Amino acid sequence: MSRITSSAPGKVILFGEHFVVEGQPAIAIAVSLRAYVTVEPTQSDEIKVYSKNFDLTETFPLNQRDSWTGKMTPVAVAAYTAMLEADKKTGLNIHIDSQIPPGSGMGSSAAVAVATVHATSLALGLQLDPRKVSDLAYEAEKVVHGKPSGIDNTIATFGGAIAYRKGEGFIQLKPIFRGVKLVLADTGNPRNTGEMVRRVLALKNTYPSILDPIYYSAGKLVVEAAQLLEKGDYENLGILMNINHGLLSAVGVSTKEIELLVHTARENGALGAKLTGAGGGGYIVALCRENDAEKIISALKSHATNVLTVNLEEEGVRKENI
């Protein structure tokens, strides 16, 4: 048993959020922001988790698993599931340092869960298959989101770009990502992913005959978008981003702050712009030509609390040589 640091990337959902929960496909890409998790086995009978981002330490006794509570519970659950897989119960010190803004819709919790499972298993002498890492991290995601789609832990594990459908797994895409950038802008309003997912599902259950066609359209849109992504047809991809945003607005997850950022990006030359993640706050994503990026970034800074430019991250979860 040894001290191990692993990292996993965040993500941006380009198409299909919310609709993916009910079996429609979605497209996500890993982005160049990573969560770093260091795991060190100890002689204690507890899991101690420290988050640098929240400046928070919480302790989880191994013999009181059913009564764990606290902000870091999903991290402890991720470590515990890996511990059970390795068939080694031991104390752990876990240190989290993430570049991914929490509550942003960029898969922060999933990246931390994936890196935690990966580092814990290696620290306990177990080399897990990537699919197993993703499956175990999904259990921790259930603590956060209740009924997660599975897309966040998948992209954090495998990296790159994927088309994903719940229950059917994923297809690795080969996007041509040249001459364009993704710009992310923060509304400054945090939102609860689990709550937004429950709200949309409740709406769908109340009005299934109205919402079903919207879900179907969202699914057809993703199939078209995957082809455009691999062709590098970003003019039309941007149009589909705008349509996807309209569908998300229809199910009630946009806000006036999101709309302001989306339209600011479009008015300043973005090929397409939409909310990304659960909505209700968080970030928007804008697809833009490299030559237009600075103008768009400057305009967004007038209204956003944070603006980021990200690249496609080809590599998923990995062990860090620190």
Q: What is the pLDDT of residue 191?
A: 76
Q: What is the pLDDT of residue 166?
A: 83
Q: What are phi and psi of 140, to 5 degrees?
A: -70, -35
Distance CA 122, CA 212 (A): 44
- Residues noted as catalytic: 152
pLDDT in tens, 96-138: 999 998 877 788 999 999 999 999 999 999 999 999 999 999 9
Asked if 106 and 276 count as a contact pair (C-beta separation under 8 A), the reply is yes
Residue 200's nearest CA partner among 249, 251, 246 is 251
Residue type, 37: V
Q: What is the pLDDT of residue 100?
A: 92
Q: What is the pLDDT of residue 277?
A: 85
Asked if 312 and 29 count as a contact pair (C-beta separation under 8 A), the reply is yes
> Model-level pTM?
0.84
Distance CA 46, CA 66 (A): 13
Distance CA 90, CA 140 (A): 19
pLDDT in tens, 279-294: 998 899 999 999 999 9
Helix, strand or coil, per DSSP, at residue 172 = strand
22-37 as b/e, with b when 16 or more CB fall inside 10 Å? bebbbbbbbbbbbbbb
Pick the CATH number of 180-310 from 3.40.50.1370, 3.30.43.10, 3.30.70.890, 2.115.10.20: 3.30.70.890
**pLDDT beneath 50: ranges in the chain:** none
Domain locations along the chain:
4-173, 180-310
As assigned by CATH, the class of the 4-173 domain is alpha beta
